[in-house]
Structure formats: structure tokens, C-alpha cells
Structure 1
Amino acid sequence: MTVHIEPVTGRYAHIEIDGTPHRIYWEEAGTGIPLVCLHTAGSDGRQYRAVLNDPEITRHFRVMAFDMPRHGKSSPPAGTVDEDYRLTSEDYVIQIMTFCTAMELDRPVVMGCSIGGRIVLYLARRHPEAFRALIGLQSSAHVEPYYDTSWLDRPDVNGSRLCGAMAYGLMSPTSPAEHRDETRWHYMQGGPGVFKGDLWFYKFDGDMRDELAEIDTSAVPIHLLTGEYDYSCTPADSRQLADTLGIGLTVMPGLGHFPMSEDPERFLTHLRPVLDAIRAG
């Protein structure tokens, strides 16, 4: 029997985030420039499995994908399981900065998708000196609410199936079925109210439009990549962001809202040149 063992290591770290003890799970592979990957709302770091397993990337980058508190294998802090969860921009920035500090990362590259693609704008605005570069996937300054998020956490609705269905609708129909299935399965495993709580940041608290003018792209390079098949963050949304910041945008044909997860091989063809440019810079 042939067994393939992936070169990915998963570990836990006991970290105080804003004074509260947390047990945070992360996976990593490779050596070199730190590349911290931020998952989407309601999911976890497994979305970056292809980046973690790509030898062309891990030859030069130490890829790290951590699960936010309440997501994946990172549990809620003690005594908070029954609390209503709402992610704010302040909480999100603190989580990322604390993880990078705890891991003693020297000016890492941070790549985030969806809510992660939004929070990199806050990192650029508030802590540009801390990062070598920032990569926004499916990144926009805001999104207009287009559905009632209360349906995601109701006792008379199967929240896990609903989360999976919403994720499914955001993926490109040309993405391989096996990867679309795995992507929505991750969503169906999320804790109650977690997806809804993340969307509080994405749809309300994280509106970045008034702060875009304060971002200095000469202080930290920002790279934007957006899949063409996405009604949550359309190419037009990312184009408006790119034009406002005065930077370029790569539109990825045939990809949807979860490019790194729904069609990993196609996504990597767009990511590798960006990482090469960052490394060369």
C-alpha cells in the first residue's frame, strides 16, 4: 500500500489575545519568508492546503495558516461558548498582530481572502511597517448586505447546511467538484453563530471606504487577486478598490469566492508570480 504523507505540520500555541488566554491551532510548511494565510468567514485554515503543499512556494516561504478563535481547531476562550459572537475590525487586527508577534515573525507577508481580504486593508492602514507585503483575495472596501444573516443562527434552520449552501453559490461552476465539495464541507462544520458573527465584520463593522485615503501603498506593497465568478466581491468591486489605492488588480478567470480552496491548482498559477515578485523585491 502506498501512503502519501503531506509535509504539513499542525500545532497548538497557548497565546493571550488582548489579555484573554487562547489555544490557537495552526498548520505550517516550508522555510524562508513568513507567509501568514487568513481563512474566510466561517471556515478555517484547511482552505490553504494547496499553498502549504506546493514545493515551489515552500522552498522560499514559511507558509502558516492559523484558525481564528472559534474556527476549525481553535476553541472559544473558556467560559464564552454561549456568548453571542461578533467579529470587529479591532478584534481581528489584534488576533493577527498577536499571532505574528507570538511566532516571532520578521515582517511577514499576510494573505487573506474575503474577510481576510478586507482585513489586510486595515493592516496596511494601521501597521504598514510590520509587513513585507499584503495580498488581498476577493478584496473590497465594503459589501452591501444582500441577505438576512439571522437565518444563519436560528433554532428552526439547519445552520450548517445553510452555510454550506451559501458557500456553494459563491463558487465557480467550473471549479472541480471534489474541491467545491470540500470547501462547503468546511463550512458545514462551523460552530453555531460563527459564520454570522464573522459577517458582522464583513458587512457592517469592516466598512473601509472612509479609511482608504489613509493607506500609503509606498509603505507596504498590496497585491489584489479576485476571481471573476463572485457576487459577494465582484471584479468591479475589487477594481474600484484598486483604482482608489492606485495599484494593479489580477482578475482570475474561472475562479470564485474561494480561489485557494475551490480550484487550488488554477489559483496557484496566479499566486506564484506574485510571491516571486515579493521575494525579488
Structure 2
Amino acid sequence: MVNLPSVLSLQGCDLRYADSGGDGVPLVFSHGAGADHVMFDGQREYFRARGYRVVTWDMRGHGLSRPAGARFTAERAIADLRALIDHLALDRPVLVGQSLGGNLGQAIVRRHPDLARALIVIGATWNTPPLSWKERLLLKAAAPSLSMIPAKDLPRLMAEASAVSEAARADARRAFSRLSKKEFVQVWRATVEFLTPDPGYRTPVPLCLIRGEQDRTGNIATAMPAWAKAEGVEEVVIPGAGHIANQDDPQAVNEAIEEFLRTVSAPKRARRCA
């Protein structure tokens, strides 16, 4: 686990974060539900070495940002991320989010369209499409279903559903075991809060969509291709990877992100070398 040396105290929680500093384009990585900053170990040094300013953090109630203080909700997560960006005075960062982090990134861009220069989503569903009756039913049933799983089994089952590689599963088990079942169910409920249908909405910044080929979480396997089509972008499907594709195959995900970032804004060091 990387040491998160810095603290931003908000609403009863010491949010822990790490900022590589420098004058490169800022990348803010937001992890998935039940996970923490460690899930981006394969991205942090890769992009720092290429001149980007890399910020990782643990959301309220996750990883090192414990105890949670205020209850975890979608609104609280939006406020926390916005506060962190303001605290660091980041100039139009690129938001990179996996699962819950991707839903959070969408919500921030929707609410504050001038805040970020681009959005990268890894393994998250689309926040704003219309939901079918079947999807609404599944969403309504998800939290009660999670509540029925014995607490001792939840980290293992969630890890097996999230990752393909044993290394990624091991880290997922570690992270999930830090939250109680009650806390995890609350985070899941907050994730559902991000889903607010608005069929005419389109992302106002450059968008990159990345999905693991074997991601079977929720409706991601069908929602992300539909999202890509609606936005006029090509989704990147990582062969053999699961829900946490950036841990199952970090190199393939890094290459996809790097290729996208070249179309957005190159870091200053790269511009000088050119």
C-alpha cells in the first residue's frame, strides 16, 4: 500500500491522498466501491514517469480515509472530490474513475462541465440513460441481495466477481475486508444514487470508455457499448480482463489511457521533447 501522506479533513473524515506534484497535466484517479488507492498502483508510477501530475486518494470510509465521519452518499462523494480538486488548485484535471469512481467522475463533469478537461471511465455503467423495468428491478434488489450474503464471505465473493487474475483478486479481497457489510451495502446504495436518467445528456468533455471483456458486473457489458455509440466514441475492450481491468491487465489499460491522453493534451515535458 502506497503511503498517502496528505490529509484533507472534511465532515468528520480525514481524506487521505497523494499528489506527485509537478506542472504536468493533472490526472485524478478515483477507485471503485470497497476498493482503495492501491488499485491504481499499476497506473500511478507509469503516468508520473511520463510527466503527468498524478493524484490518488481514498474515498470517505475506504482504505486509509477511515473512520468515514458523515454517511457515504453520492452527494457527499461529489462534494469530497470537488473539495480535493479545489484544495490542490488543480487546473482542469483529467478524471479517471473505476466503477464507483467512474460514476463519480460522470456526476462531477455533469454538474461542473468546466471543471475537468477529460473523463476516463473504467468498468462503470452509464449514469444517464433511460432504465428498463428489468434494470430498475435489478437495482432495487441488489442491496437486499448483498445484505443476505454472510459478512465473512462477502470479500471473497466480491473479489471473484470483480477480477480475473489472482493478484487482482487478492488485492480486492484485502480492500473489501476493510469495510463492514453494513458499510459496503451503504456504498452500493450510494452508487445507485448516481444513476439519474437524462437521455438527451451528452458528456461535454473528451470521453474515454474502457471495459474488461469478462466484466459481468451489473449492466456494464451492455450499457457501455450503448454509451459509446450515443457519444460517438469507440470503447476500448481489454481482452480477458474482468471488472477491474486496470488491475487484471494494467499495461493494456495504461496504453489505452496514454493513447487517449495524446488526443487531449500532452504533458509539458512531452511537448518540450517534441
SS at match of 1:220: coil
> Does the CA-based 8 Å contact 1:113-1:138 persist in structure 2?
yes
Q: Which residue, out of 133, 155, 160, partners 1:163?
A: 155
Residue correspondence of structure 1 range 1-281 to structure 2 within 5 A: 10-16=4-10, 20-29=11-20, 31=22, 32-54=24-46, 57-78=48-69, 85-88=71-74, 90-141=75-126, 144=135, 145=138, 148-150=142-144, 152=146, 158-172=150-164, 175=165, 177-203=166-192, 205-208=193-196, 210-215=197-202, 217=203, 219-232=204-217, 233-280=219-266
CA distance, structure 2, for counterparts of residue 137 and residue 92 of structure 1 = 18
SS at match of 2:187: helix
CA distance, structure 2, for counterparts of residue 30 and residue 160 of structure 1 = 40
TM-score normalised over the length of structure 2: 0.82
Structure 1 residues 212 and 280, CA, compared in 2 at 3 Å: closer, same or farther?
A: farther
Structure 1 residues 185 and 261, CA, compared in 2 at 3 Å: closer, same or farther?
A: same
Structure 1 residues 77 and 258, CA, compared in 2 at 3 Å: closer, same or farther?
A: closer
The residue type equivalent to 2:262 in the other structure is D
Residue 247 of structure 1, CA deviation = 2.7
Structure 1: runs of 5 or more not aligned: 1-5
Residue 77 of structure 1, CA deviation = 4.8
CA distance, structure 2, for counterparts of residue 153 and residue 86 of structure 1 = 17
The residue type equivalent to 1:136 in the other structure is V
Structure 2: runs of 5 or more not aligned: 268-274
User: Where does structure 1 differ by over 3 angstroms across 4 or more consecutive aligned residues?
Assistant: 28-31, 150-154
> Does the CA-based 8 Å contact 2:103-2:126 persist in structure 1?
yes
- Residues 100-126 of structure 1, C-alpha deviation per residue, up to 9 Å, x if partnerless? 001111111111011111222222211
CA distance, structure 2, for counterparts of residue 238 and residue 211 of structure 1 = 16
CA distance, structure 2, for counterparts of residue 108 and residue 72 of structure 1 = 23
Structure 1 residues 159 and 278, CA, compared in 2 at 3 Å: closer, same or farther?
A: farther
- Residues 31-72 of structure 1, C-alpha deviation per residue, up to 9 Å, x if partnerless? 311110010001111110111121x55322111111011110
CA distance, structure 2, for counterparts of residue 267 and residue 247 of structure 1 = 17
Identity between Structure 1 and Structure 2 (%) = 25
> Does the CA-based 8 Å contact 1:252-1:270 persist in structure 2?
no
SS at match of 1:134: strand
CA distance, structure 2, for counterparts of residue 97 and residue 12 of structure 1 = 16
